[in-house]
Structure 1
């Protein structure tokens, strides 16, 4: 489930970039969330009727707000960069998860997480490398910065899911999260982006929305929420981190993104930091005094 999730999320960056060229950000996400909530509600109606959704309201508002903020920052960043680059910067949320758990539960991250954070920062520097030398050598652009901010909110969303997963039904959590996200995006769109346009209803855009709604939203979020209930959050983060690899591959094939040498070094460092942060290295065991005959 987590591998499929990573694949549909990673390839979804290129679809988002394509739709973003024609539709304003909050309308794009509002339409996506509305149809995702509608389809999920219809498919899961018998189960939703058995769930006491009132007790889900507060947790799902927290999930929706972090999801909404994550997408708002991510899509603003996507306006100024290729999809593959955007996917790697967003995927730094995996390195942030242990530090957010520390802030919430006081469970201090280990040396791996500290080293991983340092390696990730160096990787971000290479990704943002301007090539002009001097003070501009490691210049983080505005779009890079707000994309990294989106990773903070995605990390917080994953931590909340991990804390709630064993006490709440996955379908109930996802349905209300999508419903509340619809309200946030559509409300923001009416306030800042005007009315939707009939010219948006082209076959290409409708097809893109179908992929995002069914694949990246319903299947992706459902698989993540179910899987995080069955495996540790850190293990889930390792598998989900491959999203950035799928993101770059889709961007290179369908968007024509080209990678420079320093960008490739940066991507490798970021991915290495993600693995270092999440992998459980074997502990040293005392050598037994027993000798074999």
Structure 2
């Protein structure tokens, strides 16, 4: 089951990574909160449909006494998700996309650190080694030129703490509640908060939203509705430290999608970064692979 969870997280990373292209195109005409409100609205509609289809299954689980609602847990996760994504989006006004990607991915190290400090899960040597390799690869993939810190970088660092909290929170509660309700509640919370921010800080118009419908549909249905749900399901079976490394692979998929779809070129350093991140993912899985072969692993 753990390997199945890891595969779901890898699919999540692929969807999130390719969604970078959709978001880049969609943000050409829309403000960040308007775009977020539109995508989370579509995600809410999609997940509501799935939730309605699962009524009989939930009724059956209630009769057997094995149903645990995910609504309240999802609201807390939604606040974490909104704060993290909003800080990240706002910070882009002051820093580069590359630095944002790298600093955000500090959760690769922060998640196992948090899991160890709060005793949420065991963290093994291969997890730390995989995290370091992935972080080094991400540096080569995203950072170019001289590194300097500014306000945007500080905001992104704070958002990385938000992503870390969300991952650890999902790891703690996902195995015990209804996954779909948790995901839907989280999405509704993000939609409501994004809409309020858009109404208060941006000029909203219907025409740009309609013009960007392809981008919004991809980000709303796949990146929000499908991927965030797969994240929750995947984290039911995967250790948080492994989950963080696997989900960071979205940066690789994003770079590859930009190369294939937008025609952006990749340097030798970026290619090496992708390979190093791939090595980090493999190393973080060594213990799971060895366990499946019944070989003791430290």
Query: Are residues 267 and 88 of structure 1, via their aligned partners in 2, closer, same or farther at CA, if it must alter by over 3 Å?
Result: farther
Partner of 1:100: 114
In the TM superposition, what is the alpha-carbon distance from 1:220 to its structure 2 partner?
Answer: 0.7
- Distance across 1 between alignment mates of 2:151 and 2:101: 16
TM-score, normalization by structure 1: 0.77
In the TM superposition, what is the alpha-carbon distance from 1:67 to its structure 2 partner?
Answer: 0.8
Q: Is the 8 A contact 1:87 1:248 kept in 2?
A: no
| 1:210 and 2:217 correspond | yes
- Distance across 1 between alignment mates of 2:268 and 2:152: 21
In the TM superposition, what is the alpha-carbon distance from 1:21 to its structure 2 partner?
Answer: 1.7
- Distance across 2 between alignment mates of 1:190 and 1:218: 23
- Distance across 1 between alignment mates of 2:149 and 2:129: 21
Q: Unaligned regions of 5+ residues in structure 2, if any? A: 1-7
| 1:232 and 2:239 correspond | yes
Which aligned pairs between 1:11-50 and structure 2 lie closer than 5 A?
11-47=18-54, 50=59
Which of 6, 18, 31 lines up with 2:13 in the alignment?
A: 6
SS in 1 for 2:175: coil
Q: Indicate the structure (1 or 2) with the bigger Cα radius of gyration.
A: 1
Which of 211, 223, 229 lines up with 1:222 in the alignment?
A: 229
Partner of 2:257: 250
- Distance across 2 between alignment mates of 1:4 and 1:223: 8
In the TM superposition, what is the alpha-carbon distance from 1:62 to its structure 2 partner?
Answer: 1.9
- Distance across 1 between alignment mates of 2:197 and 2:69: 26
Q: Is the 8 A contact 2:14 2:253 kept in 1?
A: yes
In the TM superposition, what is the alpha-carbon distance from 1:76 to its structure 2 partner?
Answer: 3.2
CA RMSD of aligned residues (A): 3.6
Query: Are residues 191 and 275 of structure 1, via their aligned partners in 2, closer, same or farther at CA, if it must alter by over 3 Å?
Result: farther
In the TM superposition, what is the alpha-carbon distance from 1:64 to its structure 2 partner?
Answer: 0.6
Partner of 1:158: 167
Which aligned pairs between 1:73-112 and structure 2 lie closer than 5 A?
73-78=87-92, 80-82=95-97, 86-87=100-101, 89-105=103-119, 109=123
In the TM superposition, what is the alpha-carbon distance from 1:16 to its structure 2 partner?
Answer: 1.0
In the TM superposition, what is the alpha-carbon distance from 1:119 to its structure 2 partner?
Answer: 5.9
Query: Are residues 115 and 46 of structure 1, via their aligned partners in 2, closer, same or farther at CA, if it must alter by over 3 Å?
Result: closer
Partner of 1:196: 204
Partner of 1:280: 287
SS in 2 for 1:44: helix
SS in 2 for 1:230: coil
| 1:179 and 2:188 correspond | yes
Query: Are residues 22 and 180 of structure 1, via their aligned partners in 2, closer, same or farther at CA, if it must alter by over 3 Å?
Result: same
Query: Are residues 241 and 118 of structure 1, via their aligned partners in 2, closer, same or farther at CA, if it must alter by over 3 Å?
Result: closer
1:170-196 Cα offsets, whole Å, 9 max, x none, are: 011011111111121112222222x41
- Distance across 1 between alignment mates of 2:33 and 2:235: 28
Partner of 1:134: none
Partner of 2:73: 59
1:139-195 Cα offsets, whole Å, 9 max, x none, are: 2455455444433322221111111012101011011111111121112222222x4
Q: Unaligned regions of 5+ residues in structure 1, if any? A: 131-136, 286-293
In the TM superposition, what is the alpha-carbon distance from 1:94 to its structure 2 partner?
Answer: 2.6
Q: How many residues align?
A: 277
Query: Are residues 73 and 129 of structure 1, via their aligned partners in 2, closer, same or farther at CA, if it must alter by over 3 Å?
Result: same
Q: Is the 8 A contact 2:43 2:225 kept in 1?
A: yes
